[in-house]
Amino acid sequence: MKKLITLFIFCCSLLPMTMQAQERITLQNGTVLNFFLVASENDSDQRHPLVILMGGGPGNASISQDTSRWLGSGFAERGWMVAVPISPNNRSFRGVANNALILELIVELQKRDDVAQGKVLLAGVSNGGMSALEIARRDPQNYFGVAAVPAISSSDTDNEALKGFPVYLRIGGSDQLDWADRFDETVASLTDADVVLDADVLDGAPHMFRMEWKSLENWLQEIQK
């Protein structure tokens, strides 16, 4: 875990600063959840589609801020309203209780005048990518899809709930955690469940990599039709 956090911070330290604001919401169960909000750069008066973007490792404040700057700003440039939640217990958003926090966060954010109702995009990096897949398995009809950049799925993971569900998966070919070695297992786990999968290994890329925005843009356009 320490190796992953150090790698993430190093990669993000090379990226330019962008504007993002840390906010907090009190959820219905009384939990106070902090998150970074990156507003859509689309100046229209229309409500903007929401993406919940989850950082890697423990999903703490530092990692979440870096994720909002590195990846969140790219979604915001493309018209999305981006929320990057900070894990309250350093477990990213894995597990039933943490999954539920994301569901409540979406309800609260969609009360805003600048956030669209309806389906939401789930996205995540590493542990956040696996959080996104967990959350999607609970209620896939509520989401456009999952962008997992990267994530892995074991052969014994039950992905049946994701039948017909869009997943965008990228793993670095030179992943320092050897996730590229689990690419075939992950693809099989998802395709066996009839997931609509767009998956690739990025040659020479590390665990945290520069986003392929052209291919991701094409995928985003398809899932919003």
The full DSSP string for 41-69 is S--SSSPBPEEEEE-STT--HHHHHHHII
Lowest average pLDDT, out of 22-26, 144-148, 162-166, 191-195, goes to 22-26
Nearest to 133 by CA among 193, 78, 89: 193
Residues 159-201 pLDDT 10s: 999 999 999 999 999 999 999 999 999 999 999 999 999 999 9
* 88 preceded by a cis bond (ω within 30 of 0): no
What pLDDT is attached to residue 29? Answer: 83
Beta-carbon contacts of 150 under 8 Å, excluding residues fewer than 6 positions away, are: 125, 126, 129, 169, 170, 171, 172, 175, 179, 207
Residue pair 138/106 in contact (Cβ under 8 Å)? The answer is no
Q: What's the rounded Cα separation, in Å, for the pair 180 and 152? A: 9
pLDDT for 1: 46
The set of residues, in sequence order, having a beta carbon less than 8 Å from that of 45 and lying 6+ positions away, is none
Distance CA 203, CA 201 (A): 6
| 95 Rama sector, left if φ>0, alpha if ψ -120 to 50, beta otherwise | left
pTM above 0.85, yes or no: yes
Residue 30: per-residue pLDDT: 86
**Predicted confidence (pLDDT) per residue in 7-21, tens digit:** 444 444 334 444 568
Which pLDDT score is estimated for 6?
40
What architecture is the 2-223 domain classified under in CATH? Answer: 3-Layer(aba) Sandwich (3.40)
- Cα(209)–Cα(150) distance, integer angstroms: 9
Q: Where are the domains of the chain?
A: 2-223
The pLDDT value recorded for residue 43 is: 77
